[in-house]
Amino acid sequence: MGRIKVWFHHNALEALSFYGSFSPNSKITFESPVFVHCELKGRGIMGLNGGPALYQL
């Protein structure tokens, strides 16, 4: 199965940390100003800090 991708305006790290707090086996595996990747119950989730300006492209 493919990786789940979620678009955020500016708070991907905060949001994925929150979602991960519900599962003891979750962890943030990569973070940059634009992308955040975490594993939640063995599934890869990629968060993108796209912001409203990129959404309008």
Give yes or no for residue 20 having a pLDDT over 70.
yes
**Which CATH number does 4-55 carry?**
3.30.720.120
Give yes or no for residue 34 having a pLDDT over 70.
yes
Report which of 7, 20, 3, 21 is spatially closest to residue 56, judged by C-alpha positions.
7
Rounded to the nearest 5 percent, the helix, strand and coil shares of the chain are 25, 40, 35
Give yes or no for residue 16 having a pLDDT over 80.
yes
Q: What is the mean pLDDT of residues 17-32?
A: 91
* pLDDT score for 5: 86
In the chain, domain spans: 4-55
| 42 vs 27 pLDDT, higher one | 27
pLDDT tens by residue, 41-52? 888 999 998 876
